[in-house]
A and B are shown apart, each in its own frame.
Chain A
């Protein structure tokens, strides 16, 4: 592995020597069998949380609408959509699988967004590095599993509302 690469105007007859110098810089190679756990440690934060000098403005990350305004809008649409859908089984009974699966999917998305928000709050990427990715992937895996679970519940079972009704009356 080459360390520093300096662009210097080296005449052709000295090029061999510069290569030898570079190979001298790269000295030892660690052959320890202990695995590298450094990426699982908490990332060191700058003192006082100051990045750059004290007179520079804080630089926000580049705009990403899917994590910003649009995400918030989807969150609220899902939440608002859940409210009338939830009143349907109480009025018309729990036997409508389309309403049932629609509500289950909305509930799943609502919970997914909620847990994602918790992960961003308490396992931020700037402090926990790889654990943030692990948590996000675990959440996505859980959501996909739950999506399959909804499919099973609707097809083999009697739906979510019926399940809650039996649990409540049991």
Chain B
């Protein structure tokens, strides 16, 4: 907004007084809007040093709108040791999941709050082991995902020998489930997952379990349901719904878990 007004005033000056237009063009660079970012730092090479928050100032006029732009700028210009995961910069890979301003979200999709009087705090995903700075250890998360057998299982070959056919209505059932990018934002926002990470599968994995349960092409629903028939894997969910609140893709894992519970109850 300010840039367009400045452009108009510069144009007017150019028409009236040619010599003065150069001076105003040079002085019209806007004042820097400095935003403070406080970022969680911990180095495994010096594990005895306690983790701490480090402050960085970024001129928002020289930076892209998303938090990922800001931390990349910090890494490029100020502190090259800042470590974080990132890949696609468009919210589809799920690498840059972190806790920004108290919310688990993707850094590449989270706009920087332009209020320069407030500082933005960036933490790694909560209640996860930290590999370094903002990088969490997601090994157990992937092990849990592998355990639900996220692949099509059939006893019979398809009828025409080529494709497993599926009606449009059955395909519509998968909408809202297949878009999950496994960023782990939802699972790490769930208090039940914090307290019982080893045994409770978490909303991300459970939503994918539901995605395979209701896939009409899949014939292994029996064993999929049996895997969840214990007190911990599914039933630590108490409909806290932090997962649906924090999903950066706008999905609803809580609803998927409720649907699984309904299916398991009438087994």
Contacts and interface: CB of A to CB of B under 8 A. Distances in A.
A and B found bound together: yes
A58 B140 contact: yes
B146 interface: yes
A65 B266 CA distance: 11
A64 B146 CA distance: 21
Contacts of B16: none
Contact of B229 (A58, A69, A76, A126): A69
B235 A72 contact: yes
B229 A45 contact: no
A67 B139 CA distance: 28
B265 A69 contact: yes
A49 B140 contact: yes
Contacts of A122: 195
A58 B143 contact: yes
Interface string A59-75: 11111110111111100
A54 interface: yes
Interface residues of A, number: 30
A67 B231 contact: yes
A117 interface: yes
13 contacts: A45-B198, A49-B197, A50-B139, A58-B140, A63-B226, A64-B231, A65-B229, A68-B234, A69-B265, A70-B265, A73-B266, A124-B196, A126-B198
B129 A48 contact: yes
Interface string B231-244: 11111101000000
Contacts of B226: 63
A21 B142 CA distance: 48
A63 B229 contact: yes
Interface residues of B, number: 32
Interface string B220-232: 0000001111111
A50 B196 contact: no
Closest 7 CB pairs of A and B: A68-B229, A69-B264, A57-B146, A63-B229, A67-B231, A58-B147, A57-B147
B265 A76 contact: yes
Interface string B125-139: 000010000000101
Contacts of B234: 68
Nearest to A73: B265
A53 to B, nearest CB: 9
- The B contact surface, by secondary structure, is loop
A73 B235 CA distance: 12
B208 interface: no
B104 interface: no
B235 A60 contact: no
Contact of B143 (A45, A56, A69): A56
Contacts of A51: 198
Contacts of A69: 229, 264-267
A121 interface: yes
A113 B184 CA distance: 30
A65 B192 CA distance: 21
Interface in B50-84: none
A120 interface: yes
A126 B235 contact: no
Given A68-B228, A117-B238, A60 B233 contact: yes
A122 B236 CA distance: 11
